[in-house]
Amino acid sequence: MKFTAEEQAMLAGDYGTGTQLAMKVLAAIGEAYDAPYMVPVTRTHVALSNQEADLWFAEKLVAGGATCKIRPTVNPSFSWDNFHEITTLEPEDEAIVKRTHAAYTKLGAIMTYNCTPYLERNVPRFGEILSFSESSATPFVNSVYGARSNRESAQSALCSAITGVTPYYGFLLKENRAGNVLVHVDAAMQDDFDYQMLGYLVPRKIGFAVPVFEGITNPSKEALMNLGAQLNTGGNIALYHIVGFTPEASTREEAFQGKTPAQQVHITQAELTAMREELSAPGGKIDFALYGCPHFTIDQVAAVAGLVKNKKLAVPLFIMTSSLTRTLAQKMGYMDIITRAGGTIVEDTCMDQPCWKFLYGKKGITDSPKCAYYTKRRDMQFVIAPLADSVQAALKGVY
């Protein structure tokens, strides 16, 4: 790879051992992918996780004096303020959260603790070069905004935040952004929930590819959030196009950059239904409801408030969202309605965190296959159902 004088100085350790390590990681990735050089990034998002390895790496960078040149937003952890009111926290879990907070703060990250930064705090424009980790975020910024990011890890995105550059390869190049599989969506796609199933099913049918969807009209931002989250959880798809909707696909020809699709597949309503049946735990009695994987928007919070207004939930209901949306929900009266029904809105929290230990071994309901996917190893079971149906189930305690 060719390096600028500044990048060479970083590699030589002139900016400290933390920056040197970050540049070495990026150089190794660049060499592995035959990148010719580095390019500057204008935005970064780091999927901070609170896991030991992540913390080890962040603290190593801090010890080496690194700070972020392009300050990243960060993924959710868990809000110890909110959870102290809900459950008893293990001291070691709380300690790791506090150490992670301290390390990332020292690095200069913007501590948003939100997994949908592309909607409210880190919104790119068309063509911007980014380094974004987080499964729903990378497909959204690539596909919906037409910004350019590879499918970064928490560590590679953090290295780009520190150095301000990323290796030039993969989805940063226009030619690699061409679609290669045409996906005819024959299902009606009437509910945002259908996009969860579509996102989970498509990678099974096409593997690692850039799908071009036809037959989808005017999806909501929540539908697109769901689609990206599942495409990149059920598989590893970080870029898709929707003909007539996303910015690099005004026509089918543009989406494929004039090439012929290598494969064509059809998605039917029956397949989406079968996908849901496969992913979902059987119905029956439920112990709780959990939403916000990815973090709920204010419109989704409003939808839940509308469903539970003046009613009592039979089981606890939790909604995860950003602190900004939680504050908005408070100001708009949604939080009061949900709290009076027996529900809780928690900010800054991911379901893949130890704060949910009090639900281990129980059966919940959610609208998100991603939520069910990450909690399997934690002995939690989930019925997966559309939002309205699942809230009705939480009101009755049974699905």
Phi-psi sector, 23: left (phi>0), alpha (psi -120 to 50), beta: alpha
Residue ranges in 76-95 that form contacts with ligand F3S under rule CB under 6 A = 76
Q: Which of 19, 77, 133, 136 binds ligand F3S (CB under 6 A)?
A: 136
* Interface pick for ligand F3S out of 320, 335, 346, 359 (rule CB under 6 A): 320
Quick check: 26 binds ligand F3S (CB under 6 A)?
Answer: no
Q: Which is nearer to ligand F3S, 112 or 163 (by Cβ)?
A: 112
| Min separation Cβ 318 and ligand F3S, Å | 11
Query: Does position 159 bind ligand F3S by CB under 6 A?
Result: no
Give the nearest distance from C-beta 49 to ligand F3S in angstroms. Answer: 8
183 token code pair? 């996906």
Q: Which residues pair with 343 in a beta bridge?
A: 317
* Subset of 280-309 contacting ligand F3S (CB under 6 A): 293-295
Q: Give the shortest CB-38-to-ligand F3S separation in angstroms.
A: 28
Give the nearer residue to ligand F3S in terms of CB position, either 113 or 399: 113
**229 vs 355, which CB is nearer to ligand F3S?**
229
Choose between 19 and 116: whose C-beta lies nearer to ligand F3S: 116
Distance in Å, CB of 234 to ligand F3S, minimum: 13
Residue numbers at the binding site for ligand F3S (CB under 6 A): 75-76, 115, 136, 229, 293-295, 320, 350-352, 370, 374
